[in-house]
Amino acid sequence: MSEQDNLVPQLQQLLRTKRSASLATLTNQGEPFASMVPFAIDNKTANLVIHISEFAAHTRYIQQRPTASLMICTSEETNKPVHDLSRVTFAVKAAEPERDSEEWTYY
């Protein structure tokens, strides 16, 4: 089994056990803005789904510029180097379901 083959189970474990991620967007001035968001994986589509408040700054930013980055990472452990943490970063294009649509209700 190659090293790459070992990454798949590690990625699956990470995605199954973590519930929050770091969302990176761009402000209206083009400055980076990162925040923590809850996420889930849609079992039907395998899409990453984040739930964010309509009042949060990152919501406005992602509505105006839907490209973003989402990083999911394990927690730090005492006496272990942080660069060894399991993590994955996704380049994403956000899509907001239309309010009161079937998709909106589903999520």
The pLDDT tens digits of the residues spanning 67-89 come to: 999 999 999 989 989 988 899 99
What residue spans of 18-101 are helical by DSSP H? 57-64
Residue positions counted in the chain:
107
pLDDT digits (tens, 9 = 90+) for 10-60: 889 999 999 999 999 999 999 999 999 999 999 888 889 998 888 999 999
DSSP H helical segments within the chain, as ranges? Answer: 3-17, 57-64, 102-106
**pTM: predicted TM-score of the whole model, two decimal places:** 0.84
